[in-house]
Amino acid sequence: MLDYRMETFLTLCEVMNYSRTAKIINLTQPAITQHIQYLERLYGCKLFVYDGKKLSQTREGMMLENYARTEQYNNQAIKRKINKPGIEPLKIGATKTIGGYVINDLIMEIGRARDYVLTLVVDNTQRLLDMIDHSELDFALIEGSFEKQKYGYKLMRNEPYHGVCSCKHPFAGRKVSMDEMFGETIIIREAGSGTRAIFEHILRSKNFTLNDFKHRVCLNDFRLIEECVMNGIGITFAYESLTKHNPRLANFEITDHKVEREFNYVYLKNSRADELVESISTMYRKSTTATTL
Domain spans, the chain: 4-57, 71-157+262-292, 160-260
The fourth-level CATH superfamily of domain 71-157+262-292 is Periplasmic binding protein-like II (3.40.190.10)
What CATH number labels 4-57?
1.10.10.10
pTM equals 0.78
Could you tell me which residues come within 8 angstroms of residue 58 by beta carbon, excluding any fewer than 6 positions away?
A: 45, 46, 47, 48, 49
What CATH number labels 160-260?
3.40.190.10
Helix H, strand E, coil C: the string for the chain is CCCHHHHHHHHHHHHCCHHHHHHHHCCCHHHHHHHHHHHHHHHCCCCEEEECCEEEECHHHHHHHHHHHHHHHHHHHHHHHHHCCCCEEEEEEECHHHHHHCCHHHHHHHHHHCCEEEEEEECCHHHHHHHHHCCCCCEEEEECCCCCCCEEEEEEEEEEEEEEEECCCCCCCCEECHHHHHCCEEEECCCCCHHHHHHHHHHHHCCCCHHHCCEEEECCCHHHHHHHHHCCCCEEEEEHHHHHCCCCEEEEEECCECEEEEEEEEEECCCCHHHHHHHHHHHHHHHHHHHHC
pLDDT of residue 290: 56
pLDDT of residue 293: 46
Which ranges of the chain have pLDDT less than 50? 293
Same fold, 4-57 and 71-157+262-292: no
Q: Which residues pair with 122 in a beta bridge?
A: 94
